[in-house]
Structure 1
Amino acid sequence: MASPVDPGDDLFDSLRKTDPKKLDEQAKAIVEKDEALRLKQEQRLRDLIQSNSTLPVTISSIRLVGVRNTRRSFLDRIFNPIIGANRDTPYTLSEALQEAGSAADKLRRFDIYHDGISISVDKPPQTDPSSTPTDIDIYLQARERGRVSLKTGTDLGNVEGSAYGNLLWRNIFGGAESINLNASAGTRTRSAYQAVFDTPILSDPDKRLSIDVLASSTHKPWASHEEALKGAGAKFSWATGGGSSHQIAYTGMWRQITGLAGTASPTVRSDAGDSVKSSITHTWIQDQRDNPFIPQRGYLLKTISEIAGWGPLRGDVAFWKSELETSAAIPIPVPGIKGDSGVSFTTGLRAGMLYPLSVGFGSTPQPSRINDRFQLGGPTDVRGFKMGGLGPRDGADAVGGDIFAAASANLLMPLPRLGKDTPLRFQLFANAGRLLALKDRGDNTQKSVYDTVAQLGDGLPSLAAGVGLVYAHPVARFELNFSLPLVMRRGEEARKGLQFGVGINFL
């Protein structure tokens, strides 16, 4: 009796005898045919919508397909406002699709779905007696991200190397809540542990509340000590449109200056030990740049205001601390190149002031501590100087200052043969800055602040210039520069030669 024959055998024999290159060509032709068919169908749908764009419709329902872990009450706050029964006037078809697109964009910004949420429209079932000829059902097709992700890796930059681990748990209760656990250890940040719980408010991706706890230990060789932090805080963030956002935060922090080097200065030794800071901070950002790392056009405005220890806040340090940052970029046209040349000129300015206050409801302002003062100098602000290389010093220690100003001018150009579409740029830069401690005027703090601000314009600031390479990675900016200090004051520490920096915020 003959054995049964599998009809697939002939197919496999045929495939084995076929030239692999021919198979590749056939597969490619099938893919191209399918893609052409998909594009043709999409164009037909666009034409259909365009020809009926003013047709009055009523959205009878919106359904999110392909999700299991998002709760109904969370989605209702997004979809209910655009359901036809909740509106006094009907939509046109174009308006209905625009509202559906806005809802899909909101869903994307919660970061719990993969990109590519698709929208489709259908008529309600004919068996539904409550439907009308103008009713439509909208379907959103989405795919949820994995609920738990774990990342490990290493970082190198800003004179520090570190290893880190990150555990993210998304959409915990079905409303885009998340818990983010971070742990890292490095050459400068000895250890850092942080846990953050984050949740949107009323299903709005532009309004978020987060609660965090942290513990860290950081080596600060420029001031001969280590700083240990333990604390917790809460933050409320909201966006107001047009690239503008706000954040209000409360932080309670126990700080320790410990691990003093044998050569630590009297200033560092006097601030050693424990301190408690209780503060409220407001941050405002207006970002109109086309790229945060290698902008071609646009501007950035940022302010940070912090009040600590005053009135009911208590703690054992009290001050008002305010910082301003601004930058702008303009494209530079190049003869012979049409459109955007990839060459841009950027400028940046940063300034800050720490104003001493009395703790609680007392009457005597407290002098600032090294924990709270500004530091200036390094590869991400005033290049050509060491970390903490500018400003007041006590012996070999950079003890920080209460008032500072720094500025930079940069010319970014694409590298020859690579072109403007790559994230690599050649950089020419010049930057300058000054960092000052408050002058002692007894109890007259206001006079002391006024005199110190006036001193910023006394003589030339510390100045450096140089050339380098800039690489804009999606998560950070990398710089390798050759710097030449041009002006420096007695005691300041310059850095002539190569300097490497990694960060998200460069001057």
Structure 2
Amino acid sequence: MPSPGGSGDDLFESLRNADPKKLEAQERAAREREQEQNARAHAQLKELVGSNSTLPVTISSIRLIGAEKTRRSFLDRLFDPILSANRDRPYTLSEALQEVGTATDKLRRFDIFHNGLAMFIDKPSPTIPSSTPTDIDIYIKASERGPVVAKTGTDLGNVEGSAYGNLLWRNIFGGAETFSFNASAGTRTRSAYQGVFEMPILSDPDKTLSIDALRSSTLKPWANHEEALNGVGVKYNWATKGGTRHQIGYTGQRRQVTGLGQNASPTVRNDAGESVKSSISHTWVADQRDHPFLPQSGYMFKTISEITGWGPLRGDVAFWKSEVETSASTAIPIPGIKDASGVSFTSGFRAGLVYPLPLGFGSSAQPSRINDRFQLGGPTDVRGFKMGGLGPRDGPDAIGGDIFAAGSANLLFPVPTIGKDTPLRFQVFGNAGRLLALKDKGDNTQKKVYSTIAQLADGAPSLSAGVGLVYAHPVARFELNFSLPLIMRKGEEARKGLQFGVGINFL
């Protein structure tokens, strides 16, 4: 039926004859009016809270607008605990908004909604008999992210180039569950496929459970072999109120040392073939740095502990493996400059130990395999040396060690023509490290470990120094350095000159 005052044909005719610039101006004016209204409402809310912050209120309901695929039971665990019906005393207005803001921040951290969650306050309808003058309804406006994200690209890393593809499926069952699948192929990691299913526990973004499966084939030219790996794992992650993070998990892997080079050493040939690893691990991280890749202040402390093959774990390798890593950064003020100068000093230290254990119950401890030993040297730890350039060798192969310690000192300062507000820095660095294998002689494992640890202080460590450029990209740190080895032991392989490194964890 035609609308009053004109026909449907008249309406379409007016649209055809409309000036596009005029329509665009009208739409722009409408958007501006909406922005002004939102700004006015925000100012009114701020004024209301400021003048009534101690006013007693009762939260009668919390409603999330735009959560079409998110499960109601998942949201109830977030918001039910802060409803006034579950408290023994009323909120003040500021307390109520703070509690809802905390819950909204948790919702944001699940990464299933777009940024820009908005919160509004309203009074319940006066037609509701149970409503009181102090009742408020809280509305949270949200927009869900797309469920599936796919991405492809290329990476240039530590002496390796690769192509990758990532697939992410969000909010699978409406409770912020995710499934990610990653596939890559490169010059060193021939192929790698990993699938991870992760879900929050009790609607808490700080507590997650994950199940993963991995299959990879990696070329290890420093030891003339290739390692094929198939594994599954279950991990539980949680964070404390103090800001530390924990992970405990179980991993089962079938490893194969294969693709031996023609000049592979007897040590590599002896470890060739399959081995089964069954382990429980725990990781603890306390990170108080102001930036993960280019810190100006703060510290980081990390420990990794792993028990493999001991007691009921079985498999065919058994050991306790422990690593510790720490770093600290401080800004260096320059006299006469009021603001931060951008100059900083960072020091780091890493150490690790592989302690042989009896396999199962009642057997004797066996020497470690090449799969499980530490490697040291390269552009992300002891610069100025090749990958695996430090430590024990058998002919042309770096066979790794059971005990290591390494340290670094880095002075970073802005590039003069660019300034301190960019992620680009010059650096001057010094690195030192030592990697040792347990002695085979003797049956007392404890004595062998203690005597090997004592050797770390026997003489100067391998040492290098250099200068370079550092770029802190949002997802990784890039370094291009000129390195000069200063002290090296017989058989170690240095790398004098330019060295390029990419990673998220540098010494």
Bin of the TM-score, shorter chain as denominator length: over 0.9
Is 2:19 the counterpart of 1:12? yes
Could you tell me how far apart the structure 2 residues matched to 1:133 and 1:31 are? Answer: 34
- How far apart are the structure 1 equivalents of 2:155 and 2:138? 45
Q: Compared with structure 1, are the counterparts of its residues 14 and 139 closer, same or farther at alpha carbon in structure 2 (3 Å cutoff)? A: closer
1:179–1:9 Cα change, 3 Å: closer
Ranges in structure 2 where 5+ consecutive residues have no aligned partner: 1-8
State the secondary structure of the residue aligned to 1:49: helix
| Residues in 2 aligned to 1:125 and 1:335: alpha-carbon distance in whole angstroms | 63
- Any idea what the Cα deviations from partners look like across 1:145-192, whole Å, max 9, x if unmatched? 110111111100100001111111111000011111111110000000
What amino acid is aligned across from residue 19 of structure 2 in structure 1?
F
Matched, 1:435 2:442: no
- 8 Å Cα contact 1:124/1:131 also seen in 2: yes
* Aligned-residue offset at 1:43: 2.8
Counterpart secondary structure, 1:451:
helix
1:294 and 2:307 matched: no
Give the C-alpha shift of residue 118 in structure 1.
Answer: 1.1
The alpha carbon displacement at 1:341 in A equals: 1.5
Secondary structure in 2 matching 1:63: strand
- 1:420 maps to 2:427: no
For residues 73 and 291 of structure 1, the distance between their equivalents in structure 2, rounded to whole angstroms, comes to 36
SS of 1:241's partner is coil
CA distance in 2, matches of 1:223, 1:361: 32
The answer on whether the counterparts of 1:249 and 1:280 sit within 8 Å (CA) in structure 2 is yes
Spell out, residue by residue over 1:110-167, the C-alpha distance to the aligned partner (whole angstroms, 9 max, x if none): 1111111111111111111111111111111111111011111110010000111111
Structure 1 residues 157, 404: CA separation in 2 closer, same or farther (over 3 Å shift)? same
Aligned AA (1:283): T
Aligned length: 498
Q: Percent identity?
A: 73
SS of aligned partner of 2:240: strand
Structure 2 distance, partners of 1:327, 1:271, is 35
Q: Which runs of 4+ in 1 moved over 3 A?
A: 3-11, 13-16, 26-41
Cα shift at 1:261? 0.2
The 1:171–1:57 alpha-carbon spacing in structure 2 relative to 1, beyond 3 Å, is: same
Which residue matches 1:317? 317
> Could you tell me which amino acid in structure 1 is paired with residue 341 of structure 2?
S
Asked whether the 8 Å contact 1:208–1:238 carries over to 2, the reply is: yes
Q: Return the alpha-carbon distance in structure 1 between the equivalents of residues 320 and 399 of structure 2.
A: 19
- Match in the other structure for 1:19: none
* Residue 487 (structure 2) pairs with residue 487 (structure 1): yes
The corresponding residue for 2:279 is 279
Structure 1 position 140 matched with structure 2 position 140: yes
1:52 counterpart residue number: 52
Equivalence for 1:20: none
Provide the rounded CA distance (Å) in 2 between the counterparts of 1:280 and 1:14: 67
After superposition, give the CA deviation of every residue in 1:427-471 in whole Å (9 maximum; x if it has no partner): 111111000001234111111110110100111111111111111
- For residues 298 and 28 of structure 1, do their structure 2 counterparts lie closer, same or farther at Cα, with a shift above 3 Å needed? farther
Q: Which residue of 2 aligns with 1:187?
A: 187
Contact 1:425 1:471 in 2 (8 A): yes
Match of 1:475, SS? Answer: coil
Aligned equivalent of 2:125: 125
1:306 corresponds to: 306
Separation (CA, whole Å) in 2 of partners of 1:494 and 1:389: 6
The 5 A counterparts of 1:187-266 are: 187-266=187-266
Q: Distance between the aligned counterparts of 2:16 and 2:257, measured in 1? A: 76
Hey, what's the Cα distance between the residues in 2 that align with 1:215 and 1:61? Answer: 48
Deviates more, 1:76-85 or 1:128-137: 128-137
Distance in 1, matches of 2:36 and 2:484, equals: 57
Q: For 2:29 and 2:486, how far apart are their aligned partners in 1?
A: 63
Contact kept? 1:441, 1:447, Cα under 8 Å: no
Structure 1 position 357, deviation (Å) = 0.6
| Aligned counterpart, 2:375 | 375
Structure 1: distance between partners of 2:139 and 2:27: 32
Match of 1:165 in 2: 165
CA distance in structure 2 between the aligned counterparts of 1:13 and 1:231, rounded to whole angstroms: 60
What is the alpha-carbon distance in structure 2 between the residues aligned to residue 27 and residue 417 of structure 1?
Answer: 44
Q: CA deviation at 1:413?
A: 1.0
What CA deviation, in whole Å up to 9, does each residue of 1:224-279 have, x standing for no partner?
Answer: 00000011010000001232010001000000000000000000000000100000
Number of the residue aligned with 2:461: 461
Partner of 2:3: none
Tell me, which stretches of 5 or more residues in structure 1 are unaligned? 17-22
**Secondary structure of the equivalent of 1:106?**
helix
Deviation at 1:219, TM superposition (A): 0.1
> CA-to-partner distance for each residue in 1:96-118, whole Å, 9 max, x for gaps?
00001001111011111111111
SS in 2 for 1:498: strand
Q: Equivalent residue of 1:169, what SS?
A: strand
Corresponding residue number in structure 1 for 2:6: none
**1:281 & 1:267 partners in 2: Cα distance?**
27
Residues 194-234 of structure 1: per-residue CA shift (max 9 Å, x gap): 11110001111111000011110000000000000011010
Paired with 1:298 and 1:234, the residues of 2 have a C-alpha distance of: 32
Letter in 1 for 2:332: I
> How much does 1:15 deviate?
6.6
| Distance in 1 (alpha carbons) for counterparts of 2:377 and 2:20 | 71
2-structure distance, mates of 1:394, 1:229: 24
Q: In terms of mean alpha carbon deviation, does 36-45 or 339-348 score higher?
A: 36-45
TM-score, structure 1 normalization: 0.94
**2:473 corresponds to 1:473:** yes
1:346-400 CA-partner distances (Å, limit 9, x unpaired): 0000000000011000231110000000000011111111110100000110000
